[in-house]
Amino acid sequence: MPILTLDSVSLTYPGDEQPSISNLSLTINEGEFIAVIGPSGCGKSSTIGLLAGLTVPTSGKLELNGLPIQGPGPDRAIVFQDYSLFPWMTALDNIVFALQEAGRAKGEKAVQQAIELLDMVGLRNIHRKYPSELSGGMRQRVAIARAFALDAPVYLMDEPFGAVDARNRVSLQELLLRLWAGGSKKKTIFLVTHDIDEALYLADRVVVFTPGPGRIRKIVEVPFPRARNRYLLIQDARYIDLRNEILSLIQHDILEELQAVEGGAGI
């Protein structure tokens, strides 16, 4: 059943001549894991801003459960690349604050739930540490735990693992899959990434954006059943073909854009 709908959505920021997103249409189903990939500046993050209700489209329709998106709400949680933790709060207090602001728990109940969430993301012993005392991977674990404390049906994730090393990235991907599939009902995840392997490992569908004004170049269905074994996956001929197809699409579009720029400059 559709949960998010973008219908002919365009976005031009004030003062810009060119749109950031142009005539974008996409339907995302409840419980679906969508990965969006494309070159820098193609409108991926702008799309997250629209779905979060942080930005108003210039034209077109944005809907959540059939109702217009008119602003931010507790039904959508956001995870950014830069952790977005309050530096003056401990890891525990960051999550307690989220629980209280969302009206999910108060007082000692909020503290207990926050401790359980930190335990769930493998941070049992850092409850009283501040973000500055944690590694990048640990800070992102806290950020993910805080987001999932909201228990929102939709999670919008903008390059959430882009600033962590390869080892932590793999660990965080596994954590995200556990949180996505856990509970009585799967969450809906809209993940922006630059990593083709990450997109194919995590997602049900990979949406490839074109450069320039955000448009969909192609939607790739990921055929591999869950649970996926990443080490077997990369040896699968279908995986290699899909990876090469997505890479070819991105490289082709970037080349066309460069040729257009050079031609316009008279080079």
* Residue 157 contacts residue 122 (beta carbons within 8 Å): no
Pick from 8, 26, 22, 48: nearest CA to 190: 48
Question: b/e for 5-30, b at 16 or more Cβ within 10 A?
Answer: bbeebbbbeeeeeebbbbbbebebee
Per-residue pLDDT of 30-73, as tens digits, reads 999 999 998 877 888 899 999 999 999 999 999 999 999 999 98
Per-residue pLDDT of 92-107, as tens digits, reads 999 999 888 877 888 8
Per-residue pLDDT of 172-214, as tens digits, reads 888 889 888 876 788 999 999 989 999 999 999 999 998 777 7
Say how many C-beta atoms besides its own lie within 10 A of residue 210's C-beta. Answer: 22
Q: Domain spans of the chain?
A: 1-75+152-235, 83-150
Say how many C-beta atoms besides its own lie within 10 A of residue 75's C-beta. Answer: 14
| 7 has pLDDT over 70 | yes
Give the up-direction half-sphere exposure of residue 149: CA atoms within 13 A in the CB hemisphere. Answer: 35
Q: Give CATH superfamily name and number for 1-75+152-235.
A: P-loop containing nucleotide triphosphate hydrolases (3.40.50.300)
Q: CA-CA distance, 112 to 117, in Å (whole number)?
A: 9
Q: CA-CA distance, 171 to 225, in Å (whole number)?
A: 20
Quote the percentage of the chain above a pLDDT of 90: 44
